[in-house]
Amino acid sequence: MKLSIVVPVFNEEKYISSCLDSLQNQKVKPDEIIIVDNNCTDKTIQIAKKHKTTIIKEKKQGMIYARNAGFNFAHGDILARCDADTILPKNWIKKIKENFKDNKTDALACMVMFYDHWLLKKSDFFTKLYFKLMKLLFKHETLAGPGMALTKKVWEKVKNEVCLDDKKVHEDIDLSIHIAKYGQIKFDPNLITYASARRIKNNPLSFFIEYPIRLIRTINTHR
């Protein structure tokens, strides 16, 4: 069971080294780490080249385009994705592979914890609440952008159906909606992805207004 990691990047020179270090220190090594250069103008790619990675270019700007390019390029049976500002525990890949051994799981949602926020790093209450609310709303588990995994088989089924306008949808929820039509999404609360809370800290008002608005647009897009 081969596993590919996709990391979309746009000017992530401050975070990318820690992310790649955590991936290369895994107990079970990834078969490939794909960096998707989404038009970086800083030192992100220079830093990535110092690690054992494959770098591809996606000229169309946006997370969805970069994510899709990485998934389409990847050779693994399992396609994992993480954000450039994440730090992954050493057992992250090992636990992902264990979750897919049942041959019933088509996609896997990870618990997200924030490592640089004074309140959120102390408790997983808000993250668990988020996943519970999303399941109530959509009637199935939903993936979270900072860390996820899915089979190559289910990606082949949905890759031409997923929405491309990230102003209209949350890319992770949109992907979940399409996958749920074909298979099972599993949530493992013990599979933790540590992410930066920089977006919340830098502009909390914008985050808490923009996120719900785009959630409503995501729902409306799929009616």
Q: What is the tens place of the pLDDT at every residue in 156-180?
A: 999 999 999 988 999 999 999 999 9
Q: What is the tens place of the pLDDT at every residue in 121-151?
A: 667 788 889 999 999 999 999 999 999 999 9
Residue 145 burial (10 A CB sphere; 0-12, 13-18, 19+): buried
Query: Partners of 215 in the beta sheet?
Result: none
Q: What is the pLDDT of residue 119?
A: 67
**Model pTM?**
0.94
The end-to-end CA distance of the chain, in Å, is 36
What structural domains and CATH numbers belong to the chain?
3-221 (3.90.550.10)
